A = this chain, B = another copy of it.
């Protein structure tokens, strides 16, 4: 938590994307079900989606952070795990490369949360709005175009060559925006991301997205989260910032 005088300096909002701006799980499960029906394969597609995300993407990034895997794009990490998961269910990956590539790009076609498009546009009238995602530049660009998310600029871990929560990722984003870190706020649904941003001097806004892991989840808002703002969605955040005259 930071002193109030600093909050008045905020010029740019950097957004985490997967889970914060877009509902990755619903879109991925829907496309996997479609794939299963076209290919006549039965599988637990929710579990497939969760393992793709957790073991493939997050696990892959952990290997990169530890130094046991070279830095690579989110697309590459996704493809690595998709091949493993498809082979487990007996799909012939080698003779269906175009199908696999299309499926891998489901992460370029994720649907926003209901408030995201309008909420971003609302916030964009007072701040520079930017992505700050571990997704690669083309993934974020294609997603924005596909889902009509209007960013002032797209920033990604790919530009830094290091994934969040590496501090260089946040520092480089501020640098590319021509701002000091205390002029930037990270908006995210994930505590670790926000804590890492705060450690380099960013302000922080936590967005409560209880349905990121499904509506049968029972995620509750933790009390006393150590962030500058807590909001239910992007329009709520805009209201809170306006009420604090931060714009």
Contact = CB atoms under 8 A, between A and B. Distances in A.
A152 interface: yes
A15 to B, nearest CB: 15
Contact of A141 (B142, B144, B145, B153): B153
A48 to B, nearest CB: 24
**For the complex formed by this chain, how many copies does it contain in all?**
2
A195 interface: no
A165 B179 CA distance: 28
Nearest to A176: B137
A49 to B, nearest CB: 22
Interface bracket on A:
20 to 34
A57 B130 CA distance: 27
Interface in A115-173: 128, 130, 136-142, 144-145, 150, 152-154, 158-159
Point out which of A136, A145, A178 has the most chain B C-beta atoms below 10 A from its C-beta: A178
B154 A153 contact: yes
A211 interface: no
Nearest to A174: B138
Interface in A169-216: 176-179
7 contacts: A130-B141, A136-B178, A139-B178, A141-B152, A142-B178, A144-B153, A150-B150
Closest 6 CB pairs of A and B: A138-B178, A141-B153, A137-B176, A153-B154, A138-B177, A145-B152
Interface of A: 75, 128, 130, 136-142, 144-145, 150, 152-154, 158-159, 176-179
